[in-house]
Amino acid sequence: MKNIIILHFLIVSCLFSCKKNEKNDSQNINSQEKKDTIVNSSVIFLLTPDDIEIKELKEKHGEDNFYTIADDANYYVSQIRDISPQKLNKIRYKNINFSREDYVFKKNAYSDKWLIINYNEGSKPKVYSLVDYYMSLNGEGKENRDFSYYEKNDDYFTRDIDINKDGFKDKVVSSKKNMGDDLIFFLGNEKSKYQFALKTYNFSEDGGFVIDDIKPLTNNSTNEVFYITTYFDGSGGAQRINYVAYEGNKWKLTRSVYITSDWRSDVNKEYYCDVKQNIALDDKKIREKLHPMPDETVRNKVCKSRYKFEDTLGQFEENIKNSVNYTGIERYQELLLKFPINNSNILQYNNIAYYLYEKGAYNESILLIKEILKKDPNRVVAWFNLADLQWELGNKNEAKKSYQQYILLMKSQGKDLKKIPNRVYERSK
């Protein structure tokens, strides 16, 4: 191949640069140049690198390697033209808007700059590398590739996980973010040989959830062997964790855990929605059968909620002080679990209870004060604050007892009784 590199480079230059030579190919390739275009009818596009991309490829791979890559691309273009039942329309662009499918193809999202887009009106366009498209024309699919193809391909990542519970690590291959939705299994053995087992869906969606990672499940009492994390690539920060089990020599999606925030009213409140799926991974209609996140109108009933907190109690206290409106009894029950009351933080909790009182969050403040008094029942000021809160809420009998306890502690601890407000004596009778 090196011996004829100059010849092939001339051919590649012809394909990618020379306007004169494109006319000679007009019977096979209809060449257009547009930065952006809208497509409304069935077509097959040939995408090639522009001058800037050629320069970037040379810098990335080196000139010699670039010419070899271009030589290979030229070979497959020639082969595809010979066997393709339809014309290839060569186009240079930045975006292609397939308006009837509500889909915009963005060239910058793909590392491979030689691509084929096969669009049939009424279906989402399919994007192929030159090799993929050539193989599809010859009746060969990705299933026939060995693991080495994906190992060397920058559009995929691989995780080593025992997915069939035989004690040998297998290869789980997935398209990277915005590079497709392939999920491919190769089973390993004692000789570290990998045999293709399944090609399926990695739960990525155009305009929706995108792939994050794939991780094994250990010490799991169920048949679930790994999970796939995806997240919503936009506002809201929703996540979806998809759990895969191995049962009866088959893999199936058992459940999806959706995690989303209550972004309209409280961004620090998260819902955890465990949705049963039970869909075989080899089901061709897995995308259509996938159960979505529960609607927000029913999340309080069917999902669990929890709160996100700052890294330290001091940070939480500062946010409360600076008018961040954190309300809700459940929030403070969880806060107490995250930061249990002790001698070193009891003053911080007392301050938080006071700030809540100032904001009118009386029930939340009472919850914290009662926990403070469990830790330190002789804390005089806590009984005073508790009594005032109970009175404000109309719980006058409870308030009366708390005022009496406050007076008792003031006396037993030798405090200045002149500092006791008159309302305390009036309300304690």
* Measured distance CA(319)–CA(259) in Å, rounded: 24
Exposure string of 4-25, with b = 16+ CB inside 10 Å and e = fewer, is eeeebbebbeebbeeeeebeeb
- SS3 of residue 260 by DSSP: strand
* Measured distance CA(243)–CA(228) in Å, rounded: 7
pLDDT tens for residues 356-405?
A: 999 999 999 999 999 999 999 999 999 999 999 999 999 999 999 999 99
The pLDDT score that the predictor gives to residue 236 is 64
Q: To which residue do tokens 């995690």 refer? A: 259
- For 252, the token pair is 């199936």
Closest CA to 215 of 205, 223, 206, 225: 225
Q: Give the pairing type, strands 224-232 and 239-247.
A: antiparallel
Is a pLDDT exceeding 80 seen at residue 332? yes
The pLDDT score that the predictor gives to residue 305 is 87
pLDDT, greater one: 5 or 383: 383
Sheet holding 43-47, edge to edge: 29-33, 88-92, 43-47, 115-119, 126-129
pLDDT average, residue stretch 247-256: 94
| Share above pLDDT 90 across residues of the chain, in percent, rounded to a whole number | 54
Is a pLDDT exceeding 70 seen at residue 344? yes
- For 97, the token pair is 């808007």
The pLDDT score that the predictor gives to residue 15 is 39
For the chain, the average pLDDT equals 85
pLDDT, greater one: 49 or 262: 49
The pLDDT score that the predictor gives to residue 263 is 65
pLDDT tens for residues 194-236?
A: 998 999 999 998 878 999 999 999 877 789 999 999 998 766 6
Is a pLDDT exceeding 60 seen at residue 5? no
pLDDT tens for residues 172-185?
A: 999 999 898 999 99
* Measured distance CA(182)–CA(228) in Å, rounded: 12
Among 19-28, 140-149, 158-167, which range has the highest average pLDDT? 158-167
The pLDDT score that the predictor gives to residue 22 is 39
The pLDDT score that the predictor gives to residue 261 is 84
pLDDT, greater one: 291 or 323: 291
The pLDDT score that the predictor gives to residue 139 is 52
